[in-house]
Amino acid sequence: MCSLPSATFALPQELVDIIVPIVADHSSLKACCLVSRSFCAPAQRRLFASLELLPSSMAWQEDYLALASLDALQTQSPQISGYVRRLTIDLRGPWLADDAFSRVLRRFDRLTTLVLDSELHSIRRLRQPLEWMLLPLPAQAALRHIMAQPTLTSLTLRGIQFAVFSELRDAFEGRTQLRQLLVDNVSLSKLQDDSDPGSNTAGTLLLDSLSIFTEAASFIRHLPTLLHIPALRGMELLLPSKECEDAAGFACDARALRTLTIDLQHQDTLPWTTSGCSTPSRSASTCPLPPKMRARPAGTQDGWTRGRPQQRP
């Protein structure tokens, strides 16, 4: 069959932009990249919207080859780095000390969601968090760089241990663009931080949503020095001990809350009440009901939700 001139099959870009978003699978999106230039860019935006930097389960040599391939791809097609909106990084990857890792990270300049995780694989899930200070300095600098992007609004930290809270606070300095923060199994290596949380001024990070899943009461206790608690509209707390519950007493100051989930995983809590904080050491379970809280749904007690937190991202 004779081939017709390519101009015969040209579609308005408006139609292409409607067609590509409804393509369901990756293989079809890859095929779209080969149709024409008008199809290539929107198809690549979908293909590279979410990217994971994960170690191979085969051999460390394959990890370095994969990283080198990504480095080369970014060099040959620099627009691809700008298509990535969600980036997940396994912090136990063997290539963190490679110079290519820092180069690759710094090219992602339009991220909206960043996940820094040391517990991605259940077969390698470790109880002891990864120490931030043990990460290679170039990798630390590159991670701070992408955390400072003005487009980044959501950050997840999982399985990370900071030496002192000021180390984490420095990493968040100037990150006024963040709106969602999830911390899971994040802790401090020192029992006492280098500063007293009660002596610091209130935090300036204006978040809409905060999720905390950690056994480190000292970490929870310092959060008000990082976050502006009254600005929070959503909060999710998993409190495995009475000490963590007491440390989360800052929830009393979150007066703009729309949604709140508290999972008490211990049996030492005081009876639930909304009569106010009756003791100087406030706990999450004895906070007064925020005035703007929605009407309590079934399964709640005194306006506070008791149950398992939502599935972690």
Overall CATH class of domain 49-271: alpha beta
The residue count of the chain comes to 313
Domain assignments of the chain as residue spans, ordered by start: 49-271
Amino acid identity for residue 235 in this structure: M
pTM confidence score: 0.79
State pLDDT tens for residues 133-189.
889 999 999 999 999 899 999 999 999 999 888 888 888 877 788 999 999 999 888
Strand pairing category for 50-53 and 234-239: unpaired
Give 174-178's long-range contacts (Cβ < 8 A, gap of 24+). 174/148, 175/147, 175/148, 175/205, 176/204, 176/205, 176/206, 177/149, 177/150, 177/151, 177/152, 177/153, 178/152, 178/153, 178/154, 178/205, 178/207
Q: In angstroms, rounded to a whole number, what is the distance separating the alpha carbons of residues 246 and 236?
A: 15
* Six token digits for residue 85: 């909106």
pLDDT at 312: 43
Half-sphere exposure at residue 41, Cβ-oriented, CA atoms within 13 angstroms:
8
Half-sphere exposure at residue 286, Cβ-oriented, CA atoms within 13 angstroms:
16
* Six token digits for residue 36: 């024409």
State pLDDT tens for residues 40-74.
888 888 888 999 988 766 566 677 788 889 999 99
